[in-house]
Amino acid sequence: MTNSTIDALNSPTLSHVTTPSTLQIRQGTPAHAIAGVHDLDGRPVMLIRAEDPEHRGALTPEDGDTLTAAANLALEKHLPIVLLLASSGADANHGVAALDGWGRAARVLAKASGVVPILAGVTGPAVSGTALLIGLADIVVMADDAYAFVSGPVPVRQMTGVQVDVEELGGANVHYRDTGAASIVVPHDDVLPTISDILRFLPNHNENEAPFNPSSDPIDRQTPEAGELLPDTPTGSYDVRDVISLVVDDHDFLELRGGWAANLVTGFGSIGGRPVGIVANQPMAIAGTLDIPASQKGARFVAMCDAFNLPIITFVDTPGFYPGKDLEWRGMIRHGAQMAFAYARATVPRISLVLRKSYGGAFIVMDSKTMGNDAYLAWPTAEIAVMGATQAAQILQRGESEETIAAWVEDYEETYLNPYVGAERGFVDAVIDPADTRKELADLVDLFSSKREQLQQRRHDNSPL
């Protein structure tokens, strides 16, 4: 191992690497990118570091060769890929050959997608081709002082006349709250430890199950507080993450993309020691309705869980899709279909629980029995219907007196807005006590752990974009 390699591996960024390296890739070449098989808190990973401070991380054709060779070896050896990136893009001194290196690296990362987990840590600038690489990653952890964009402030000013700095254009908070490119934002030195924390929920390869996470938290622990979180009024809000925290092992929920599309919560937890992916409507943000960003966020997360054999638990509380001309013109149909498509093709165990509301098209999209899930549960407070009583009255009782409408609404709520009508027709498998939520979910996750499906032999799906 060369002195420069040793210095690179002693970087503070890599302090969580338990051993320096068990295998270094292409260490005799003049490449600035460094890659090798490393022990990351007990997990072997292919760690690729492209953050050379002397060249602003500008990558040469040899760097492209290193990235490509490392990703190919990760595929062969069934290792997660961890990218640490701080690069200004392709090295202009090498012309189009540098772009070719980036292209080959992107191609092999696309080949690895869904086969081994790809986790990117952005520790500095991620410009042009580097920015596109993080778009290929499953999960992106950004340092709070990092930034990323395809075209920088100078091209933006030249093409549009708009003056903007790097922070406003592509700072970590922009990607956490506005674009969804950053899954988590942490202080610079916490990037690699956070990636290590995420990996405990993911397998090394799509043919493996996620590692078991031992816990002393009893599987049959009662959760009466969960039901008490629901407000007295049907339009009142609450934080669905509090429900999730009560259900998962040791109240340990790792949320991903928490700043973007806040009306839908996604993240990892364990139940009975088994890692699961969790999707939940968030009543605190636009009443938990589904819009375009939420549909994109949910679809990508469901697809990732399905790729890496994580059971999916969906907590449902939504009055439907968010209405509006702007959303419809921007493609609500296409993007809403992304969510439905992701759930419908997922073959991992899927369990849904309706906490309060499940109306209209959102009932279908949020992994209903119709979408082929394995178990559909509901709390006694659940309202499962085409629409709420007031909306129905506006359509079906138009022109009637206020007294007639009020009586009709009361009868509608009593007759239809409960989970038992759906249960009678087989759309709801069980109505459960909120206090039993953790135990019921743990039993089902364990029951479905042996689920296997015969997959169709075809090259790929035509996923709606």
What does the pLDDT read at residue 22?
Answer: 59
Rounded Cα distance, 246 and 226, in Å: 7
Q: Are residues 369 and 231 in the same domain?
A: yes
Other CB atoms within 10 Å distance of the CB of residue 196:
19
Q: Could you tell me if 321 and 360 are in contact, meaning their C-beta atoms sit under 8 angstroms apart?
A: yes
Rounded Cα distance, 70 and 375, in Å: 41
Looking at the domain assignment, is residue 395 inside a domain? no
Tokens coding 10:
């002693």
What does the pLDDT read at residue 128?
Answer: 82
What does the pLDDT read at residue 412?
Answer: 64
Looking at the domain assignment, is residue 207 inside a domain? no
Mean pLDDT per block of 10 residues along the chain (465 residues) reads 38 48 67 86 92 66 86 95 84 64 86 94 88 91 94 88 91 96 96 96 94 95 96 90 98 97 98 97 95 95 95 95 88 90 94 92 88 94 72 62 66 69 82 97 94 65 58
Q: Are residues 129 and 259 in the same domain?
A: no
Tokens coding 93:
């001194």
Looking at the domain assignment, is residue 152 inside a domain? yes
Looking at the domain assignment, is residue 460 inside a domain? no
What does the pLDDT read at residue 102?
Answer: 77
Tokens coding 251:
């109240």
Question: In terms of residue numbers, what domain contains 343?
Answer: 224-382+418-450
Looking at the domain assignment, is residue 462 inside a domain? no
Only one residue has tokens 């030249």, namely 158
Q: What is the pTM of this model?
A: 0.90
Looking at the domain assignment, is residue 214 inside a domain? no
Q: Are residues 8 and 155 in the same domain?
A: yes
Rounded Cα distance, 448 and 450, in Å: 5
Q: What does residue 20 show for φ and ψ, rounded to 5 degrees?
A: -55, -50
Q: Are residues 240 and 155 in the same domain?
A: no
Q: For residue 120, give the nearest of 197, 47, 64 by alpha carbon.
A: 47
Rounded Cα distance, 195 and 184, in Å: 10
What does the pLDDT read at residue 464?
Answer: 59
Q: Could you tell me if 384 and 358 are in contact, meaning their C-beta atoms sit under 8 angstroms apart?
A: yes
Domain count, the chain: 2
Tell me the three-class secondary structure of the chain, residue by residue. Answer: CCHHHHHHHCCHHHCCEEEEEEEEECCCCCCCCEEEEEEECCEEEEEEEECCHHHCCCECHHHHHHHHHHHHHHHHHCCCEEEEEEECCECHHHCHHHHHHHHHHHHHHHHHCCCCCEEEEEEEEEECHHHHHHHHCCEEEEECCCEEECCCHHHHHHHHCCCCCHHHHHEHHHHHHHHCCCCEEECHHHHHHHHHHHHCCCCCCCCCCCCCCCCCCCCCCCCHHHHHCCCCCCCCCCCHHHHHHHHCHHHCCEEECCCCCCCEEEEEEEECCEEEEEEEECCCCHHHCECHHHHHHHHHHHHHHHHCCCCEEEEEEECCECCCHHHHHCCHHHHHHHHHHHHHHCCCCEEEEEEEEEEHHHHHHCCCHHHCCCEEEECCCCEEECCCHHHHHHHHCCCCCHHHHHHHHHHHHHHHCCHHHHHHCCCCCEECCHHHHHHHHHHHHHHHHHCCCCCCCCCCCCCCC
Q: Are residues 316 and 430 in the same domain?
A: yes
What's 232's domain CATH number? 3.90.226.10
Rounded Cα distance, 426 and 335, in Å: 29
Looking at the domain assignment, is residue 208 inside a domain? no
What does the pLDDT read at residue 459?
Answer: 53
Q: Are residues 192 and 331 in the same domain?
A: no
Q: Are residues 136 and 249 in the same domain?
A: no
Looking at the domain assignment, is residue 269 inside a domain? yes
Q: Are residues 260 and 185 in the same domain?
A: no
Crossing angle for the helix pair 437-447 and 240-247, to the nearest 10 degrees: 60
What does the pLDDT read at residue 222?
Answer: 97
